[in-house]
Amino acid sequence: MLRLLTIEFYKLKHSRSSKVLSIAYFVILSFIALIASIEFNLGDFQIRIADQGIFNFPFIWHFNTWVAATLKFFLAIVIVSMISNEYSNRTLKQNLIDGLSKKEFMLSKFYTVIAFAALSTLFIFVMTLILGYSFSDYTEFSIVTREMEFLLAYFFKLVGFFSFCLFLGVLVKRSAFALGFLFVWWIFENISYGILRWQINAETADAIVQFFPLEAMKNLINLPFQRLNFIETAANQLQADIQIDYAVHWYEVGIVSVWIFLFIYGAYRLLMKRDL
């Protein structure tokens, strides 16, 4: 595994675009700390984001992983480009000539996906601890470690999304087309959900689309903003019911895990059938 990872990181090291996008991704993640300084007016109320509990344990695990997950497209471009460059630069054929099997080639890409997801998860873990201990009103160990399952959800969400990008990169061979297909698929899932909700009902539509790949990844970390203090206060005053299940469920992780296997296996089968 180490040998295969070394080969991939050597290629990425000499790819200027990959280095720029990777650095930009982690730099932008660091900007989550700047959210503490955001202030705005909502009617007669002055809202300061830092006072809404977003950096309080355990909520910060949910908030930071959700925000970080929205920025995953930076690394997705790296993953897709990593595959398309193999075809355009003919390094795939050269690697096979040098003795690398197609199985090892695909494993090297999957190990890179795992490495990117693990590094990003570790980065979020460290940054969340720093922000939490700096701003949280609660620093007891039992509270700090509560809801850390969002880190696991974040890791699987990245691995699933990057595996999808890897599959598309192998399928169409061109990064622009792969990213375009990804966007089209996102539209397809949303249109399908709308049709199902219109023709049947919302509950059945939710039950069906939870098995779609992008929706399954999305369900791992739900939108956290309804948990903010001023949203809960406003809901209580208006007597509105905004009860949402924010928990990370094992079956959601299981659905994404199945998609990860299908994407990687599908990419491998495509590679095996092609005459390079």
Burial-class residue 39 by CB neighbours within 10 Å (0-12, 13-18, 19+).
exposed
pLDDT tens sequence across 2-60: 777 777 767 777 777 777 878 888 888 887 766 655 666 666 666 666 666 778 898 88
What is the pTM (predicted TM-score) of this model?
0.87
The pLDDT value given to residue 72? 86
Tell me: pLDDT of 245 over 80: no
Provide φ and ψ at 71, rounded to 5°: -100, 10
More confident residue, 252 or 203: 252
Dist CA 133 CA 128 (whole Å): 8
Residue 243: strand, helix, or coil: coil
8 Å CB contact between 193 and 185: no
